Structure 1
Amino acid sequence: MKSLQRTWWVVSLLTATMLSPISWAQAGQTATAQQRELADYLQLQGVVEATNAATVSAQVSGRVERVLVEVGDQVPAGTTIVRIASVEQYQALTQAEAQLAAAKAALTAAQQEYDRVTKLVAQRLVSEAEEDRVTAQLDNAKAQQRAAQAAVARAQEQLSYTEVKAPYTGVVSERLVEPGELVQPGTPLMSGFDPAELRIHVDLPAHHGAGAATYQWARVEAIEPVAFLLFPTADQRTGTQRLRLNLPANTDLLPGQWQTVTVQVGAHQGVVIPQAALYRQGEMNLVKMADGSWRAVRIGATYGDEVEIVAGLQADEVVQYGN
């Protein structure tokens, strides 16, 4: 008999708990269900990439003499990152400088001859045809000097390519050569990116493109982009439209990371209450009405400290909550 009484007592306790899942809550505050315009969001996955990312390649042939930076190094713009030893470039510069010296000497001689002949022509000691001859010689010497100067500039430029420099301030992401390797023009040497300028691409269904363009609101996790660009074409294979979001500096994100992107694609009228007024019992969501009764509701998305009530509660109805 005692065993049966004990069993009845346990069953009664469980039944009371199930029928009064939140009987412990006491009304302390009230809130009126509000109807307002709520955003429709679409969550997508995108990969972070660097706006400025490049692979530096050799522009001359030669042997790699030194690699001056390592993967992960912060490199200022203009820093020499690889040196290439190239005898051919040094020889070309030496030859061009010799030709320039010869052109300068020829110009000096032509100038002197021109000055001498023009004086004689002025004294009517030689014919004007002789003056035409030395004038042509002087013009030719000047042209030869300009050509030699251009050849020296080209040779200097080619020689400068033996010192490969960073095109912009960034981080080395990949080292592709080692000292002693023979390289040719176009051989990849090193890759890097600028961590200060990152962006993310996501592909959203094309039928949401118009909504995304209208609201131009997106978040990458909790990060607000600084630029919003929706591409004007759709991919015919996937039926998607690409969205590019530029991220602010110093986000601590890395190229290659997958991130959740939330995009607003529309809006609707909905009823919201404070999240604190919502009580959960298992899979049920309940609210306590102003008269003390409990009502089951179906919820939608959350908006900050508020939650949307999809069914079970009308606008302007009052709920109570708090301890």
Structure 2
Amino acid sequence: MNSLFGYTHQLFIRTFVSMLALLLSVSYAQANIEVHTVNTSQTHQRIVLDGSIEAIDGATLSAQTSGVVQELLFDINDFVQEGELLLKISNEEQAASLASAQAQLARANASNTQAQLNWQRLKKLFPKGAVSQGSLDQARAEALNARSAVDAANAGIVQAQKAVSYTEIKAPFSGIVTQRHVEIGEAISPGQALYSGLSLSKMRVITDVPQRHLALLQNSESIQVQLDDGSLLSSEDFKVFSYADTNSHTFKLRINFDNVDLKLIPGTWVKVRLQGPVREQILIPQSATLERNQLSAVYRIEDQKALLTQVRLGALVGNQITVLSGLMPNDVIALSAYAVLNQDKE
């Protein structure tokens, strides 16, 4: 019973399709229809993808010492130059530590000077038998210890100076402030975020390339992106990730640019244009195509009839469109599909 129903259903569909084809065909001999002969052209395969711009260099500056915020010299969206002072932290404790380290160094230098003089004096007396070997050895050890104390005191000075320098936060690169995390008068501790910012000098465009288009990148020497104003930028510095996203099955593509003219703005969209090698393709006027129920078709002229023929279309090239399947070179098609429809209605 099921097989009989299936056969009847298939027969109904075939009969319906045949009747539809007859209804959607008109006499080419009677109609004034302009035609187009299908041929191949040497074209580049092209696709356009959406891409987003992001800064290559960005950072969040964190406190490396404790204290109270005394000055905030920049705010969100301000432009800063590399090395400019962003923030000041109270430095009383750090300055006191530096002064203590300097005093320790002075004491170490004085002790070292005395120890070195004593050792040199005993070295001269030892050959005369005026001092014992034990006294000489002890003087030498004291001189070495005094020298080590000076080295340690110098290291303490360096550490104390760094602690003082940590109370002044400077911009690591030229760019804009994107976040300010503290307020004046706020007590901060090491590791606490202070400012976030990004550099405008180097940008990258990020896009996702479908697996079927990955071959377009294999022999590409440069990639173009199109901005909102229609201008094109090219870059030879790009990288395709070696693995695909497990959900979308696309490959991440990064294209780096030197943002000399500051045309690339972080967070905005651009069009990424990928172009493959030259190959033979069938191109037909876009006016020859007809869209019905998510299917594409053209009217192919055969035996004095304009027959509706399904085609699979590809990318647009100017006012023409690529035909991937459904037509062969030297096929004759109606130049305007809608003109055929209107003729049929008459």
TM-score, structure 1 as length reference:
0.73
Q: Compared with structure 1, are the counterparts of its residues 282 and 146 closer, same or farther at alpha carbon in structure 2 (3 Å cutoff)? A: closer
Asked if 1:225 is matched to 2:230, the reply is: no
**CA distance in 2: counterparts of 1:127 and 1:135, whole angstroms:** 13
Q: Deviations over 1:66-95 (max 9, x none)?
A: 111233333221211111113322222122
Q: Secondary structure at the match of 1:126?
A: coil
SS in 1 for 2:263: coil
1:201 paired with 2:182, answer no
- Of 90, 94, 116 in structure 1, the residue corresponding to residue 95 of structure 2 is 90
SS in 1 for 2:233: coil
Paired-residue identity, %: 33
Residue 234 of structure 2 aligns to a residue whose secondary structure is coil
Q: Secondary structure at the match of 1:119?
A: helix
Aligned to 2:136: 131
Change in 2 beyond 3 A, CA 1:75/1:34: farther
Note if contact 1:217-1:263 (Cα within 8 Å) is conserved in structure 2.
no
Give the aligned residue type for 1:229: K
1:155 maps to 160
Q: Which residue of 2 aligns with 1:259?
A: 270
- Give the structure 2 partner of residue 10 of structure 1: none
What does residue 248 of structure 2 align with?
A: 238
Change (3 A) 1:89 1:309: closer
Following TM superposition, by how much is the alpha carbon of 1:161 offset from its aligned partner in structure 2, in angstroms?
0.7
Q: CA deviation at 1:158?
A: 1.4
**Rounded Cα–Cα distance in structure 1 between residues aligned with 2:152 and 2:274:** 60
How far is 1:124 from its partner?
A: 2.4
Give the unaligned 5+ runs of structure 1: 1-17, 22-31, 285-297, 316-323
Residue segments in structure 2 that go unaligned for 5+ positions in a row = 1-30, 227-231, 292-310, 332-346
- Taking structure 1 as reference, are residues 226 and 216 closer, same or farther at Cα in structure 2, changes over 3 Å only? closer
Distance 1:232 1:280, change over 3 A: closer
Distance 1:210 1:308, change over 3 A: closer
Q: With structure 2 as the length reference, what TM-score do the two structures score? A: 0.69
Answer yes or no: is the 8 Å Cα contact 1:300–1:307 preserved in 2. Answer: no
2:131 maps to a residue whose letter is: V
CA contact (8 A) 1:50 1:255 kept: yes
In the alignment of these two chains, the number of paired residues is 274
Counterparts of 1:163-312 in structure 2, within 5 Å, are 163-221=168-226, 222-249=232-259, 250-264=261-275, 268-270=279-281, 301=315, 303=317, 307=320, 310=323
SS in 1 for 2:179: strand
What do you get for the CA RMSD once the two structures are aligned? 3.4
Deviations 1:195-250 (A, max 9, x none): 11000111122343243233355322122124111011112232111100012322
Among 42, 45, 63, the residue aligned to 1:37: 42
Q: CA deviation at 1:302?
A: 5.2
8 Å CA contact 2:286–2:320 kept in 1: the answer is no
Q: 1:281 to 1:272 in 2, by over 3 A?
A: closer
Is the contact between residue 208 and residue 265 of structure 1 (CA under 8 Å) also seen in structure 2? no
Name the SS of the counterpart of 1:223 in structure 2.
Answer: strand
Code of the residue aligned with 1:246 in structure 2: it is N
2:73 aligns with one of 61, 65, 68: 68
